[in-house]
Amino acid sequence: MRKIMALVVALGIAGPVQAENLALVIVNQEYQSLADARDASVAFDAVGALDTMGFDVLSGEGVNAEEMRAQLAGLHERLARDGAERVVVVLAGHFAQSRSGAWLMGIESSDAGLAMADGQGLRLDVVMEIAAMAGEAAVVWLAESPNTPDTGIGLEPGLPTRLMVPQGVGVVRGRADQVLSGLSGTLRPGTALASVVDRNRNLTGQGSIPALVPFLPEGYAPGARADLRAFEAAREADTEEAYRAYLDAFPNGQNAQAARAAIERLRNAPERVEERLMLTRDERRAIQRDLTVLGFDTRGIDGIFGPGTRGSIGLWQAQNELAETGYLTRDQIFRLARQAADRAAEIEAEERAQRAAAEREDREFWAATGAAGDEPGLRTYLERYPEGIFAALARERLEAIAEASREADRARDLAAWRQAREADTLQRYRAYLRDWPEGEFASHARARIADLRPEPPQPPEPPAVPEDAQARAQEQALRLTQPTRLLIEQRLSRLGLDPGPIDGVFDDQTRIAIRQAQERFDLRQTGYVNQDLLTMLVSDLFREVFR
């Protein structure tokens, strides 16, 4: 259930007062069981229009039958107690009719029919009877929905062609938007109700529709409080449209001058001035580039004026003794562009001077170092100027020096090789390899050494070693690691025994050397390492280290 909104405007005078004008606005669009009353909600704008013209307004939107009757009772009480010169009633939503009358249906209405009409709706004859209590004029505006549904047996949808209208009451009916338009026209001082109805073919009037007497007299001005309230609403919105709406209602109001000043202020607001320039994305990028050239950080050149750009504009304005708004005028854009162009020219001149100075220093350093053409001077130049004016020349000369050095090395290599070949001895080939281990003829020298080296004596054929499973098991129990095996082979070799390649693999030659070591240490000759042999080898190592 939507809450009732009631707005009762007091004139600000203590004690009982004579109400000048009263209004009741009830608008139902969204129904719980029936289809919604299409476009009815627009009629609720009548509240603002009536309030602006100084009416005390009771209003409800989306209300049930009980709440509608409560609103009507409030209007009746005010009329009975204080009276009113004029009364306006605006009703919008689904209407239903029968021979006995017509009703505005509450939002809880169903298709219960005539028997429940008084319980689910607000009787229009009662509304008009209460409106007739106005002292001068009363108008009931009925906004009909274009899709009024069936509300049950004994009831017809919509309003009857003719209503029983009390004397002194005018009834105007039509679509919600037309009703609102007609009401707004009637609220213009000096406007007769008949002229509004006649101008709008979509409105139908009956009852008291004066053709000569305006609803609000010429020159009518609502109380100062209504003027102030309308101006405060405009000031809260603070838009040109809101102030113009105020001036339309109060062209000579007590706040009219302030409203015009506010319109002028908004028109001349910095953001509005810049907005009217309609800057393109490229023009905004150009402004950001100009600011950047002048040393301001816009946080990007993207054509979007965010906090970085706005802050930079403000700093530039302050630097130029302008109002620090963060928004630009056309003259300021031109001024900024001129300054940026001047600064760009200065930067270019500075860069040219820096390049000239750097080139002069480059040439002077070359004359002092690389110009002589020696390797140290060329390298010194390249260390300071790897991309300098003479860098390519320096590298070319270094390459020539390196090539000459390589040619000299090749000549010495060839001479050393010729001497070795002439001598053709192991000693001279080994001397060549010592001096030229990577020389052009190193492989030839190694091949010749192999040819000249005497054949090593062939080891005696190892005697057949009986299988000794226990000795093998003892060696396996030691779990000898690869480093330990290498150490054993090295110790065997140091003892003058030949274990074969020092590779941690115990082959047949290694087994022979192990057996020879066991013989030397008076151990049983098995060819397998046991704890006793390992201890002797290690002890012998310690004695050699600490000898």
Q: What average pLDDT does range 317-328 have in this prediction?
A: 93
The Cβ-side half-sphere exposure at 500, using a 13 Å CA radius, reads 13
Q: What residue type is 523 in one-letter code?
A: L
Q: What average pLDDT does range 349-357 have in this prediction?
A: 94
Q: How far apart are the first and last CA of the chain?
A: 110
Sorting pLDDT into bands at 50, 70 and 90, what band is 537? confident
Encoded tokens for 409 = 């090395």
Q: In a 10 Å sphere around its CB, with 0-12 CB exposed, 13-18 middle and 19+ buried, how is residue 48 labelled?
A: middle
pLDDT digits (tens, 9 = 90+) for 117-165: 999 999 999 999 999 999 889 999 999 999 989 999 999 999 999 999 9
The enclosing H or E element of 188 equals: none
The enclosing H or E element of 16 equals: none
Q: In a 10 Å sphere around its CB, with 0-12 CB exposed, 13-18 middle and 19+ buried, how is residue 52 labelled?
A: buried
Q: What residue type is 26 in one-letter code?
A: I
DSSP state for residue 36 in the 8-state scheme: P
**Where is pLDDT greater, at 454 or 329?**
329
Q: Residue 221 pLDDT > 90, yes or no?
A: no
CA separation for the pair 353, 374 (Å, rounded): 32
CA separation for the pair 118, 103 (Å, rounded): 8
pLDDT digits (tens, 9 = 90+) for 161-196: 999 999 999 999 999 999 999 999 999 999 999 999
Give me the pLDDT at residue 404, please: 93
Residue pair 191/214 in contact (Cβ under 8 Å)? The answer is yes
Give me the pLDDT at residue 444, please: 93
Sorting pLDDT into bands at 50, 70 and 90, what band is 361? very high
Give me the pLDDT at residue 244, please: 93
Sorting pLDDT into bands at 50, 70 and 90, what band is 259? very high
Give me the pLDDT at residue 468, please: 76
Sorting pLDDT into bands at 50, 70 and 90, what band is 372? confident
**Where is pLDDT greater, at 7 or 44?**
44
CA separation for the pair 395, 373 (Å, rounded): 11
Sorting pLDDT into bands at 50, 70 and 90, what band is 538? confident
Least confident of 148-157, 213-222, 277-286: 213-222
Q: In a 10 Å sphere around its CB, with 0-12 CB exposed, 13-18 middle and 19+ buried, how is residue 514 labelled?
A: buried
CA separation for the pair 288, 311 (Å, rounded): 11
Give me the pLDDT at residue 15, please: 32
Q: What average pLDDT does range 502-521 have in this prediction?
A: 90
Q: What average pLDDT does range 411-417 have in this prediction?
A: 94
Give me the pLDDT at residue 5, please: 33
Sorting pLDDT into bands at 50, 70 and 90, what band is 250? confident
Report strand pairing: 169-174 vs 204-207: antiparallel
CA separation for the pair 102, 161 (Å, rounded): 11
Give me the pLDDT at residue 227, please: 79
CA separation for the pair 305, 326 (Å, rounded): 10
Domains and CATH numbers, the chain: 6-207 (3.40.50.1460), 224-267 (no CATH), 272-345 (no CATH), 369-455 (no CATH), 469-545 (no CATH)
The enclosing H or E element of 307 equals: helix 307-319
User: b/e string for 96-127 if b means 16 or more Cβ within 10 A?
Assistant: bbeeebbbbbbbbbeebbbebbeebbbbbeeb
Q: What is the pTM of this model?
A: 0.44
Q: What is the CA radius of gyration of the chain?
A: 56
Q: What residue type is 40 in one-letter code?
A: A
Q: Residue 224 pLDDT > 90, yes or no?
A: no
Q: What average pLDDT does range 388-403 have in this prediction?
A: 93
Sorting pLDDT into bands at 50, 70 and 90, what band is 459? low
Q: What average pLDDT does range 476-484 have in this prediction?
A: 89
Give me the pLDDT at residue 321, please: 93
Q: What average pLDDT does range 302-312 have in this prediction?
A: 94
CA separation for the pair 488, 538 (Å, rounded): 9
- Average per-residue pLDDT for the chain: 89
CA separation for the pair 31, 65 (Å, rounded): 12
* Residues facing residue 96 across a β-bridge: 103, 157
Helices (DSSP H) in 136-237: which residue ranges? Answer: 176-186, 193-199, 224-237
Sorting pLDDT into bands at 50, 70 and 90, what band is 373? confident
pLDDT digits (tens, 9 = 90+) for 64-121: 999 999 999 999 999 999 999 999 999 999 999 999 899 999 999 998 899 999 999 9
Packing angle, helices 240-249 and 224-237, rounded to 10:
170
The Cβ-side half-sphere exposure at 393, using a 13 Å CA radius, reads 14
Least confident of 120-129, 176-185, 306-315, 368-377: 368-377
Q: Residue 4 pLDDT > 70, yes or no?
A: no
As a whole-number percent, the residues of the chain with pLDDT over 70 amount to 92
CA separation for the pair 311, 27 (Å, rounded): 49
Least confident of 221-225, 278-282, 295-299, 302-306: 221-225
Q: Residue 455 pLDDT > 90, yes or no?
A: no
Helices (DSSP H) in 369-481: which residue ranges? Answer: 375-384, 391-423, 426-435, 442-452, 469-477
Q: What share of the chain is helix, strand, coil (3-state, %, to 5)?
A: 55, 10, 35
